[in-house]
């Protein structure tokens, strides 16, 4: 015999359903912590001044087509003479620098050691993972050869050998690297290793890499060494430069590549054409040489429409200069820039 439910029975069933919903659908403590974890990993956001600077840069320069095809997470193109920002994409986003940070290792070694100084390699240095030139523990090498191994072959064992010889330990040398970065005008760089291998708390930015490399290229010996495609070292190994831009991109005069799984592909380099020079830096790239070639082409197209700047202009900390041209002229120059950079044609309207 069937029996109708009483009101108190319905209430009991309703409460039971609510309880089941809470048990099955309420987030666990681990899930609740996930958004906080993701927020900490991706905590960088452009500050209001940075957003304004990037917005003004994009408004002045027709770079939307480049942004569409650029794989790098962060990139910057500077006029090497003035420091003017010709292109920027997240230029102050902190990322693992990989082997591009070896520009500091090589520069400090050149400033600290005579090229004919003898450097003895420790067991720890010899055990460093690739890239390496397979130095033998307990054996000495010329400092100049080790610097070339760092800057051309991106050798991790040579980087640590120089670091330990100069500062006593790699950790102490990393502190010197951070101090040197500040001296060169890089405000958002912290070093933990001499090699650039991934380390907690180590980071740099595309802007900092460009500034540091531009300053390093003012050191004649540094500039001479990074410009060579290859070199026969005194210990019998031929060091081939990892910077393929030297034979792939017209006007390349020096640069440094990098790669780790965390950093992806990174690069910083200098290019000269017709008396003008660019510094290009990218981080987090998946197609490094395509990105570099595209940015170099765009940067020189920008420079061809500028009056040469005074040579005394500072590189570090410079920002895009304001244009004194009238709006009609700016619109026409922008259209010419599109054509020279291989971008889609732009319809020119008379400025109001």
Q: Give Cα 32 distance to the centre of its chain.
A: 33
Q: Choose, from 154, 159, 195, 204, the residue flagged as catalytic.
A: 154
| Active-site residue, from 53, 63, 74, 99 | 99
154 given a catalytic annotation: yes
Backbone angles phi, psi at 179, to 5 degrees: -65, -40
- Residue corresponding to tokens 């790669």: 259
State yes or no: is 71 an active-site residue. no
Is 40 among the residues known to form the active site? no
Catalytic residue among 102, 132, 231, 270: 102
Among all residues, which ones are annotated catalytic?
99, 102, 154
């Amino acid at each position: 015999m069937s029996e109708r439910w009483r009101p108190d029975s319905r209430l009991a069933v309703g409460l039971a359903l609510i309880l089941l919903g809470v048990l099955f659908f309420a987030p666990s403590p681990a899930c609740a912590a996930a958004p906080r974890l993701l927020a900490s990993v991706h905590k960088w956001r452009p500050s209001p001044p940075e957003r304004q600077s990037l917005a003004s840069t994009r408004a002045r320069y027709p770079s939307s087509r480049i942004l569409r095809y650029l794989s790098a997470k962060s990139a910057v193109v500077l006029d090497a003479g003035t420091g003017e920002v010709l292109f920027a994409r997240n230029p102050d986003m902190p990322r693992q620098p990989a082997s591009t940070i070896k520009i500091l290792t090589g520069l400090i070694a050149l400033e600290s050691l005579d090229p004919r100084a003898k450097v003895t390699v420790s067991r720890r240095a010899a055990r460093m993972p690739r890239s390496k030139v397979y130095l033998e523990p307990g054996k000495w090498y010329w400092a100049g050869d080790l610097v070339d191994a760092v800057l051309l072959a991106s050798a991790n064992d040579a980087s640590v050998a120089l670091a330990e010889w100069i500062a006593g330990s790699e950790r102490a040398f990393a502190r010197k690297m951070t101090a040197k970065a500040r001296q060169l005008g890089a405000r958002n760089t912290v070093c933990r290793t001499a090699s650039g291998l991934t380390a907690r708390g180590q980071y740099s930015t595309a802007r900092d890499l460009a500034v540091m490399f531009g300053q390093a290229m003012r050191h004649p010996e540094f500039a001479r060494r990074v410009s060579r495609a290859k070199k026969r070292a005194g210990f019998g190994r031929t060091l081939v430069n990892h910077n393929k831009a030297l034979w792939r991109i017209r006007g390349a005069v020096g640069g440094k590549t990098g790669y780790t799984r965390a950093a992806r592909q990174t690069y910083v380099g200098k290019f000269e054409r017709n008396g003008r020079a660019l510094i290009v830096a990218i981080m987090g790239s998946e197609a490094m040489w395509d990105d570099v070639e595209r940015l170099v082409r765009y940067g020189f197209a920008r420079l061809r429409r500028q009056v040469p700047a005074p040579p005394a202009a500072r590189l570090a900390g410079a920002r895009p200069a304001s244009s004194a041209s009238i709006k009609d002229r700016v619109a026409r120059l922008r259209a010419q820039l599109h054509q020279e950079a291989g971008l889609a044609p732009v319809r020119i309207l008379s400025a109001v």
